[in-house]
A and B are shown apart, each in its own frame.
Chain A
Amino acid sequence: MVIPILSLTVLGAVLGLILGMAARFFKVEGNPLVEELEAILPGSQCGQCGYPGCTGAAQALADGSAPVTLCPPGGRAVVIALAARLGVEADLSGVKDAVPSIADVREELCIGCTRCYKVCPTDAILGAAKHIHAVFKEACTACGSCVEVCPTEAILLRPVPPTLQSWGWVKPGSMPQPLAANEGVLAA
């Protein structure tokens, strides 16, 4: 009775000691994980996750203090990639791919104050003082910073309608795919 208890205790202690020494002597300096996670995130520093930019979010993910579903613009693809890198389960139930949106300037309301292009993280807004501004579609990540600062609400996020090239089937069983509307018949 005594021997088994003693032998298992000694075994446990010795193995624990070995693990502790390994943790001390084989420790990896720095955290390459943070850089890898940052590379997965979209990188537009929009702040929707609540952390200071994508670097802050990556650090929080590495610490384990942030869930992998923290990035709304990233959509399902980013959640899956983060979960794969961190080795955790990704709960995709609440993650909806944001409807692809683009900022759009309503020219009749724009006063050319230039606040929006100063704040755009990807230089997607073209314009100058007292001139009406316009948005480069390819550069806009729909982070929403411009919408927040515009004094006249001239710039809004608008959903991008699907084209023949971007349309896709929805996942079977997830939601019904709507039928095409019978509209837009070409008329003389």
Chain B
Amino acid sequence: MTPLAHSPHAHAVTSVSRIMATVMLALVPATLFGFWLYGWPAVYLWAVSLLAAILGEAAMLKVQQRAVKPAILDGSGVLTTWLLALSLPPWAPWWIAVVGSLFAVIVGKQVFGGLGQNVFNPAMAARVMLLISFPLEMTTWMPPMSQLPGMVDSLAVTFGGVQLDAVSSASLLGHVKTEFSRGLDLQQALAGHYAPLQALWGERSGSLGETSALLILLGGVFLIARRIITWHAPVAMLAGVALPALLMSLIDPGHYAGPVVHLLSGGVMLGAFFIATDPVTSPNTATGQLVFGLGCGLLTYIIRTWGAYPEGVAFAVMLMNAATPVIDRYLKPRIYGRTRKGETLVAEPANKDAA
């Protein structure tokens, strides 16, 4: 018997799977470029991440005795691990991807109660766990090489545990930090390692998602145009990184990299458009998202500059995720007819002279 239906009796054309699919579409250009830069190992890593996520989430749901199909088909687990894969070193071994993906969907999401219930961004939680547990594998970066191994040889890279020290190189941020500790200043550290145009275009060491800032930016603008995300969190996060970078580089150009370097290196672009905009773990209101994004950016800059790690996006995002409930509690929209505190407005009586 169909129950009595409540209004509205019409609905906008939108669904959770549509949203997830659109975000994945926005990631495709940068992902494909990363595959082209780093070859088949990157493809295998990405594929293993997604497969592990699907199987792991299905197993967890079975154990929890919850409906498996709707949860898998909404695409949120796949999207989470796609983002995780984009933040891993492209030639990482397969078990890094598996452990990370399983952690992201099981501990980062399902344990909290499934979609919409987690406090921390699952991809960032998994990345932080991997970084702390396996620091060597997580900081071994490959330069984009002209001679990439073929399909079969790449299997050995991802699944065979090939030693990579001989060809590994540091990411830009890692290199700069190491050089600082050796006493060199910024110009010397960057010489020969940093060409701005190449960085924008993406031809340098890094994870899949950090190398092509331009393609990530394009994906982000696409999402804003399609109203999947709004501009507040991304712009605030970029400002949160760029403004202190600008300030410090003006004060001491020798030891502080400028805003452009910071914006184009590491996971800032990916973080701004795809991580800080995660709806589940970010605030409800536009003002709240501005505060959230700004906090993410500032913390990223602080950790990069004065913290022990060369890259701070994952930690910054998780710290701001913890602050989201507080932001939501204090930054609420003003209700029509009431003051900010919630009291009724005082009426201005009729003005008979109003023309």
Is there a contact between chains A and B in the complex with CB atoms less than 8 Å apart?
A: yes
Closest chain-A Cβ to B346's Cβ sits at a distance in Å of 34
CA distance in complex: A90, B3 (Å): 28
Considering only CB atoms, which chain B residue lies closest to A175 in the complex? B3
Q: Is A178 an interface residue (CB 8 A)?
A: yes
Would B2 and A179 count as touching, CB distance under 8 A?
yes
Q: A: which residues have CB within 8 A of B?
A: 169, 172, 176-180
Chain B residues near A177: list those with CB within 8 A.
Answer: 3-4
Q: How far is the CB of A181 from chain B (nearest CB, A)?
A: 12
Query: Total A-B residue pairs with C-beta atoms closer than 8 Å?
Result: 16
Closest 8 CB pairs of A and B: A176-B3, A177-B4, A177-B3, A179-B4, A169-B6, A176-B1, A178-B4, A178-B3
Could you tell me if B6 and A179 are in contact, using CB atoms closer than 8 angstroms? no
Contact yes or no, A178 B1, CB < 8 A: yes
Instruction: For the complex, give the distance between the alpha carbons of A179 and B2 in Å.
Output: 8
B residues less than 8 Å from A169 (CB atoms): 6
Q: Which residues of A contact B4 (CB under 8 A)?
A: 176-180
Interface centre among A172, A179, A180 (most CB of B within 10 A): A179
Chain B contact residues: helix, strand, loop or mixed: loop
In the complex, what residues of B have CB within 8 A of residue A180's CB?
Answer: 4
Residue contacts A-B, CB under 8 angstroms, 16 given = A169-B6, A172-B6, A176-B1, A176-B2, A176-B3, A176-B4, A177-B3, A177-B4, A178-B1, A178-B3, A178-B4, A179-B1, A179-B2, A179-B3, A179-B4, A180-B4
Chain A neighbourhood of B3, CB < 8 A: 176-179
CB distance from A42 to the nearest CB of B (A): 30
Query: Least Cβ distance of A2 to chain B in Å?
Result: 35
Determine the residue in chain B with the shortest Cβ distance to A176.
B3
Q: In whole Å, how far is A168's beta carbon from the nearest beta carbon of chain B?
A: 12
What sequence of 0s and 1s flags, for each residue 1-33 of chain B, a beta carbon within 8 Å of any chain A beta carbon? 111101000000000000000000000000000
How many angstroms between the C-alpha atoms of A180 and B2 in the bound complex?
A: 11
CB proximity to A under 8 Å, residues B294-317: none
Measured CB to CB, the nearest residue on chain B to A179 is: B4
Q: Which residues of B contact A172 (CB under 8 A)?
A: 6
In whole angstroms, what is the CA distance A110 to B207 when docked?
88
Q: How far is the CB of A48 from chain B (nearest CB, A)?
A: 31
C-alpha gap A169/B6 in the complex (Å) = 9
Min Cβ gap B322→A in Å is: 25
Known: A178-B1, A179-B3, A180-B4. 11 other contacts (CB 8 A): A169-B6, A176-B1, A176-B3, A176-B4, A177-B3, A177-B4, A178-B3, A178-B4, A179-B1, A179-B2, A179-B4
Taking the nearest CB of chain A, how far is it from the CB of B9, in angstroms?
15
Chain A residues with CB below 8 A from B2, complex form: 176, 179
Which residue of A has the minimal Cβ distance to B6? A169
Residues of A within 8 A of B1 (CB): 176, 178-179
Chain B: CB-nearest residue to A172: B6
Nearest-neighbor residue (CB-CB) of B3 within chain A: A176
**In whole angstroms, what is the CA distance A176 to B1 when docked?**
8
Q: How far is the CB of A182 from chain B (nearest CB, A)?
A: 14
In Å, the complex CA distance between A172 and B1 comes to: 16
Bound-complex Cα distance A178 to B3 (A): 5
* A109→B159 CA distance, assembly (Å): 87
Which residues in B have their C-beta under 8 angstroms from that of A178? Answer: 1, 3-4
Q: How far is the CA of A176 from the CA of B3 in the complex (A)?
A: 5
* Chain B residues with CB below 8 A from A179, complex form: 1-4
Q: How far is the CB of A24 from chain B (nearest CB, A)?
A: 40
